[in-house]
Amino acid sequence: MTRGFLQELVNILFGYISKTSQRSTKVLDFHHPHQLKEGLEGFSLDLSDQPETLEQILVDCRDTLKYGVSTGHPRFFNQLSSGLDVIGVAGEWLTSTANTNMFTYEVSPVFILMEEVLLRKMQSIVGWSDEEGDGLFCPGGTISNLYSILVARYHFYPEVKTKGMGALPRLALFTSEHSHYSVKKSAAVLGLGSENVVVVKCDERWVSSILSEPTLVLSLQGLVPFYVNATAGTTVYGAFDPLCAIADICDKHTLWMHVDAAWGGGLMMSDRHRMKLGAWSVTWNPHKMMGVPLQCSAILVRKRGLLQKCNELGAEYLFQRDKHYEVSYDTGDKSIQCGRHVDVFKFWLMWKAKGSEGFGSQVNKCLENAEYLYDQLQRRADFQLVFGHKPEHSNVCFWYIPPSLRGMPPGPERDSKLHQVAPRIKGRMMEKGSVLIGYQPLGTRVNFFRCVFSNPATQQEDIDFLLDEISCLGHDL
Amino acid sequence: MTRGFLQELVNILFGYISKTSQRSTKVLDFHHPHQLKEGLEGFSLDLSDQPETLEQILVDCRDTLKYGVSTGHPRFFNQLSSGLDVIGVAGEWLTSTANTNMFTYEVSPVFILMEEVLLRKMQSIVGWSDEEGDGLFCPGGTISNLYSILVARYHFYPEVKTKGMGALPRLALFTSEHSHYSVKKSAAVLGLGSENVVVVKCDERWVSSILSEPTLVLSLQGLVPFYVNATAGTTVYGAFDPLCAIADICDKHTLWMHVDAAWGGGLMMSDRHRMKLGAWSVTWNPHKMMGVPLQCSAILVRKRGLLQKCNELGAEYLFQRDKHYEVSYDTGDKSIQCGRHVDVFKFWLMWKAKGSEGFGSQVNKCLENAEYLYDQLQRRADFQLVFGHKPEHSNVCFWYIPPSLRGMPPGPERDSKLHQVAPRIKGRMMEKGSVLIGYQPLGTRVNFFRCVFSNPATQQEDIDFLLDEISCLGHDL
């Protein structure tokens, strides 16, 4: 039964993968929560005491895919993670079949070593030596950023591990107003308090934060700064903080410099787009720009042994010292997790299949797509770019201006109307299912679309389609 | 190419799954780290700039499985998570093909609703109404336990989110000496400090902690208790804290009661073994006793809305309020993660395929296996049980006594020799690869084996084999 059932499931998955790459297929088949909950054509989410037949299980699988969102579709522009890399998928299938945990070499000999190989590769790309670099793969970029604050705090105040925050002065963290919310969220979780995150204003031209010394001085009222998060590739604008300038300030004031390159890290694979990070720790999510299936995020730390000291508790049921192999490979006590999912194999396999060069070309292609979109938007009268400069990353932000607003002078009335355009188009887009793109307001800017490219399957024709579709869906607004 | 390549990979996985269930197959093919790193018969972990051929990728996949550990083998007794449920594996294959994130309904409509269905099911089994229950699936039991402390702290001191621990009194947590290390680890991470975790002594007979009022009073020197972790199924002994008694004390002193049922939660599926948890929050890992592939862990919270209030930051690029669907289904802001892996589908699919009753029988079978092992150990002169009472869970702890130690009187000399027996047998066992079981010391007890059953494929013959194999491997020690 096993093989026959799995083969049928695999055939369903083959069908799904094949449809995902077809432009005639919808990106999603939208239903409201109440519709899905009521049950659609025999698809019921409810669970019962009695088992279903295997035939029904296969139908459930088909329906689950049918009512989901095709994140690998070349016209899915909604999230920083997109695409459906076949080698990556193969890697995940193997990972789930191997069904093991990352805590000890004993149960994950191969995967533990692959993690070491990949971390060293990433550290060397970041510019660190094998001796200084350390790291871990974590469940997502927010947890990676949390680690950076955790190890920074421990580095300056190792007593925090046993005594808690009560034994420490009131600490302050710095991050830019366009940085990811994970810095504030982590500060709340770690007991630092979100109010103690000093949010640095951004400069308008390049949308990147400027952390100047007066900012630091101003913030010193009763607070002890210890950590600065700089962003390499912000979530919405894809902007880069001035990393070298921030590194100099951090160096001078002995502050921990973290670079959140969750999104921008992928650019390190490209000879054309690589930058100098200059950080003590780095978050880099291969599941974003590099197209590795979810999840695959690394925290890299430029101080070997710090993760271990910060987090180890030496549980004897797991990390026995009298094992017959070299126990330094039992890396699980570096982690704030106990069991940890194997996120590394799919990434390793993709690297084998593409080589560093393949990742580089993939990243270059995504950035070329962004430039193409930027060029098209400049030419069209029905769209307005948020920025007049070329994209730094693959993010391109813009408004669609429906005919009714085209003659209207700038001001609160136009803004208020324009603010409603993107959500209404997005709603229609979801109902139609032809394409998917995100929108948001930011600061004083009313709702605008953000297009991001991380799927190498996307071609210029998909970009043309996106603009035509938005125009078509929003023409009457 | 896609289909052909994936089919070849699937054939490799079929072969692996089929071998996993064969008792003639080794549980592992052990190699030391330096051997694997040097490369074995063409299997190289190194990554290069150039791509490999697809043929080589398939060889890499085969080798990765070959040098790994077969955690689904009926003779793998090493970890609380074991087994290889075919429906669960199918669920993971689909999940990785769907490749999406749990933050919004927009990109995970079906999975978000499945999470709701499963959490409600679990909450109802725990005894809560739909109105009071809340929860999340998290990356592992340690993170689930971390959530319990996080929400408890926020419940009593909501100002902690913005102001940090500096605004709070010195807080104390209680847990038993046999509880999982995640309580201390979380206290360190959250800025509470591991020293402020009061470790309650356990009573010898039932190996369960007794949290008496004097303990509380004694600990009140400058500390404000707010949280008690009780364990339902300890990691090593599989023991249960006196949950009702602890609930009474927590109630009287207005302490948050968390039950870590990461391991014991599975017993809730069995009519025969279900217990009353009486908690404000519960950790329950379906990836342990219920055999769901890694990872699948839930934190359940008996206060609807608390997770959301504790963790929300309302990032506008993700959690827009002006979407065209009911945005209360965008549950991602409840989480301390941003992107979150879909851990729910495999569990949902297994529930469909087994029904609650199927899970119940599976759990019963594992506990019957534990009883069988206990009976065998009682009968054999070459083994000594750690406890003279029947197992409460599927953990059975015992020493193997080699002939050289059998006549020796109890005392430090025998202890010192006995302490070395389990690690040496384990080393030989790993080299031979015939079976895998864990060992550890605990308190004054020298190294002993801990057998756990969570794989329904394990039969009595495997248990007989385990004992004979230990005896054979350790006879000359």
pLDDT value at residue B335: 97
Residue type, B309: K
* Residue B409 distance to chain A (closest CA, Å): 25
Cβ of B311 within 8 Å of Cβ of A36? The answer is no
Domain contains A79: no
Q: Is B90 domain-assigned?
A: no
SS3 state of residue B275: coil
Do residue B30 and residue B153 come from a single domain?
A: no
For residues A337 and A361, membership in a common domain is answered with no
Whether A93 is covered by a domain: the verdict is no
Please judge whether B18 and A7 are an interchain contact, meaning their C-beta atoms are less than 8 angstroms apart.
no
B146, B349, B440: residue with CB nearest A57: B349
> Would you say residue A88 lies in a domain?
no
Give yes or no: residues A337 and A356 share one domain: no
| Whole-number percent of chain A with pLDDT over 90 | 90
My answer on whether A384 and A280 are in the same domain is no
B450 and B336 within one domain: no
Among residues B341, B376, B406, the one where a domain terminates is B341
User: Domain range for residue B323?
Assistant: 101-341
Q: Check which CATH number belongs to the domain holding A124 and give it.
A: 3.40.640.10
For residues B146 and B289, state if they share a domain: yes
| CATH number assigned to the domain comprising residue A449 | 3.90.1150.170
Model pLDDT, residue A208 = 42
Same domain for B31 and B178? no
The pLDDT value given to residue B130:
86
Domain match, B395 and B448 both: yes
pLDDT digits (tens, 9 = 90+) for B384-404: 999 989 999 999 999 999 999
pLDDT, position A105: 97
Q: Please report how the helices A2-20 and B86-98 are oriented relative to each other, as an axis angle in degrees rounded to 10.
A: 10
How far is Cα A190 from Cα A146, in angstroms, rounded to an integer?
8
Task: Give residue for tokens 């190294």.
Answer: B447
Position A420 pLDDT exceeds 50: yes
Residue A64 maps to a domain: yes
Q: Which of B451, B434, B462, B463 is nearest to B376 (CA)?
A: B463
Say what the alpha-carbon torsion angle A217, A221, A227, A231 is, to the nearest 10 degrees: -60
Q: A327 and A446: one domain?
A: no
pLDDT score at A206: 38
Mention every residue, 6+ apart, whose C-beta is less than 8 A from residue A92.
Answer: A293, A345, A346, B92, B93, B96
**Quick one: A324 and A377 in the same domain?**
no
With cut-offs at 50, 70 and 90, classify the pLDDT of residue B41: confident
Q: State the pLDDT confidence band at A39, using cuts at 50, 70 and 90.
A: confident
Q: CA B98, A90, A394: angle at the middle one, nearest 5?
A: 60
- pTM over 0.90? The answer is yes
Token couple for B438: 């864990």
* Structure confidence by residue, pLDDT tens digits, B146-186: 999 999 999 999 999 999 999 999 999 999 999 999 999 99
User: Sorting pLDDT into bands at 50, 70 and 90, what band is A217?
Assistant: low
The answer on pLDDT for B207 being more than 60 is no
* pLDDT confidence of residue B208: 42
Q: Is the pLDDT confidence value at B214 over 80?
A: no
Q: Decide if B304 is inside a domain.
A: yes
Closest residue to A195, CB basis, from B30, B162, B313: B162
> What gap in Å lies between CA A115 and CA B45, rounded to an integer?
10
A59 to chain B, any CB pair closer than 8 A? The answer is no
DSSP for A178-241, please give it. TS-THHHHHHHHTTS-GGGEEEE-B-TTT--B---HHHHHHTTSS-EEEEEEEEBS-TTT--B-
Average pLDDT of every residue of chain A: 94
Do residues A146 and A294 share a domain?
Answer: yes
Cα angle at B435 between A335 and A323, to 5 degrees? 45
- DSSP three-state, residue A342: coil
Final residue belonging to a domain, choices A54, A70, A86: A70
Own/partner contacts of B11-18, CB < 8 Å, gap of 24 or more, are B12/A94, B12/B58, B12/B61, B12/B62, B12/B65, B13/A93, B13/A94, B13/A97, B14/A3, B14/A6, B14/A7, B16/A97, B16/A98, B16/B65, B17/A2, B17/A3, B17/A6, B17/A97, B17/B72, B17/B84, B17/B86, B17/B89, B18/A2, B18/A3
Final residue in a domain of this structure, among A320, A341, A362:
A341
Residues A383, A255, single domain; the answer is no
- Distance, CA of A171 to CA of A150 (rounded, Å): 12
**Euclidean distance between CA atoms B72 and A372, whole angstroms:** 50
Residue A7, sorted as left (phi over 0), alpha (psi -120 to 50) or beta, turns out to be alpha
Give the alpha-carbon dihedral of B363, A337, B235, B96, to 10 degrees: 20
Residues B226-247, mean pLDDT to the nearest whole number: 93
ipTM: 0.97
C-alpha gyration radius of chain A: 24
Using 50, 70 and 90 to split pLDDT, how confident is the model at B42?
Answer: confident
Give the gap in angstroms from C-alpha A286 to the nearest C-alpha of chain B. 13
CB B192 to CB A188 under 8 A? no
H/E stretch holding B467 reads helix B460-474
pLDDT at residue B220 greater than cutoff 70? no
Chain B positions in Cβ-Cβ contact with residue A337 (cut-off 8 Å): 139-140, 142-143
Within a domain: A87: no
- Number of domains chain B contains: 3
| Chain A contacts in chain B segment 232-261 (CB below 8 A) | 235-236
Residue A373 lies in a domain: yes
Confidence of residue B458 (pLDDT cuts 50, 70, 90): very high
Give B40's pLDDT tier (boundaries 50, 70, 90): confident
Name the packing angle between helices B86-98 and B345-379 (round to 10°): 150
Query: B226 touching A, CB under 8 A?
Result: no
Q: Does B385 touch chain A (CB under 8 A)?
A: no
pLDDT of res. B218: 52
